[in-house]
Amino acid sequence: MTRQQKLKHLFSLPVIVAALGYFVDIYDLLLFGIVRVPSLQDMSLDPDTLGVSILNWQMSGLLLGGILWGILGDKRGRLSVLFGSIILYSLANVACGFLPHINFMDKGTAYIALRFIAGIGLAGELGAGITLVSESLPKELRAIGTSLVAGFGLFGAVVANFTVELTSHWTIAYWIGGAMGLCLLLLRIGVLESGIFKEIAHDKSVKKGNILMLFNSWKRFSLYLKCIGIGLPTWFCIGILAMLGNQFGKALKLSEEIKPGMAIMWAYIGISAGDFLSGFISHWLASRKKAILYMMLFTLLGVSLMLFLPYRSAGMYYFYCVWLGLGTGYWAMFVTVGAEQFGTNIRSTAATTIPNMVRGTVVLMTLLFDFGKNDLGVVYSGVTVGVICFALGIYSTVSIPETHNREMDFIEK
């Protein structure tokens, strides 16, 4: 394949639209974490207790949405998910901008409901996009293509933080996110359905989108659990160390207060770079597993230094957020591995539910973290959660089958 042909594939419309879609997805997904404190304080609500509750409801929405959109993607096609999910979360974000003007119900309850709905919508974007791109690109370009999607898309977190910083009110950031999503719908009109999916779309003998197939075979079920396990360290770093960075800053006795929005922004700058690199590292090593394992160990070193090395400045905490982001930049690679493990008839179900199962575990992480804070303190409670996540992540990575250069045109029976 010539260089020109490779570039034509890598910058094709499915890749570009998937990257823009993931950009908007990440912007909207992390926007609550960035505006959590100012938005809740503005409405005279508790940013700590209620803030964690809203985050958990949003993540629960992702968990439910992952199942719904994954099944729909295998039954009705990848494009149906890309259209439906973005309409849902875009409208939910627009509605979040009107929260200060809601008088017919409790604002806290309304915030929970809207973030839950947004979570359901946000769940469909990444899995459907990665599945479509994986099935559209030649096998030797899959890793690089999906890394381009995630690397560009993850800059949505950076833009979200700057949008909040530069606008006069947090509600405007929600309206901008919703508007970007609705504009993206116009671009998606020209995207074609996956050719691999179209081959089985009308074959009634093939069971499509049957989520029970992930559980009725020990081989598939164990693969599914390992795919989820690989992603756990990524959301430990984001959901605990970045989003709750203000708590860690106080516990570490830093000279300045840690702003969760800044911690998230710096982490996602690192993740964007890491996602760009992960595809090339995997291509160079000819191995998905080695690329993910080395990046995971690099992240573990960064977590250890962040929590145990003595330092006083907030700047160093943000530096470690970049470090952790760079290491956990295997996010797109991990979703790609999930897509490559399973056949076309349940690929969307697997690829969409896997990252959202990981996001959903943030609920368990925050519950365990809050439970341990009283006895262990903030730092060691975080360490406990981190040890569990990294142990499961390393085991899953080492034991899962290699999928580099695997053909995608197969079905599960």
Q: What are the pLDDT digits (tens) for 316-336?
A: 999 999 999 999 988 878 888
For the chain, the average pLDDT equals: 85
In three-state secondary structure terms, 233 is helix
Please name the residue that has the structure tokens 């791109």: 133
pLDDT at 377 over 60: yes
What is the predicted pLDDT for the residue at 95? 94
Give the confidence band of 206 by pLDDT, cuts at 50, 70, 90: low
Spatial separation of the C-alpha atoms in residues 237 and 64, rounded to whole Å? 22
Query: DSSP H helical segments within 11-48, as ranges?
Result: 13-42
Q: Greater confidence, 227 or 33?
A: 227
Whether 220 has a pLDDT exceeding 80, the answer reads yes
Q: What is the pTM of this model?
A: 0.79
pLDDT reported for residue 247: 92
Q: State the average pLDDT over residues 53-81.
A: 82
Q: Is the pLDDT of residue 7 over 60?
A: yes
Q: Could you give the CA distance from residue 77 to residue 347 in angstroms, rounded to a whole number?
A: 11
Angle 308-311-314 from CA coordinates, rounded to 5°: 110
Instruction: Give domain limits for the chain.
Output: 7-190+209-399
Residue 333 is predicted with a pLDDT of: 84
CA–chain centroid gap for 204, Å, is 33
Backbone φ, ψ for residue 209 (5° rounding): 70, 25
Closest-CA residue to 295 (of 273, 316, 274)? 274
Task: Lowest mean pLDDT of 65-79, 301-315, 388-402, name the range.
Answer: 65-79
Instruction: Tell me: pLDDT of 406 over 60.
Output: yes
pLDDT digits (tens, 9 = 90+) for 254-269: 989 998 878 988 998 8
The reply to whether CATH 3.30.565.10 applies to domain 7-190+209-399 is no
| Per-residue pLDDT reduced to its tens digit, 178-196 | 999 888 877 766 665 555 5
Tokens encoding 15: 């890749």
Which 8-state DSSP code applies to residue 330?
T
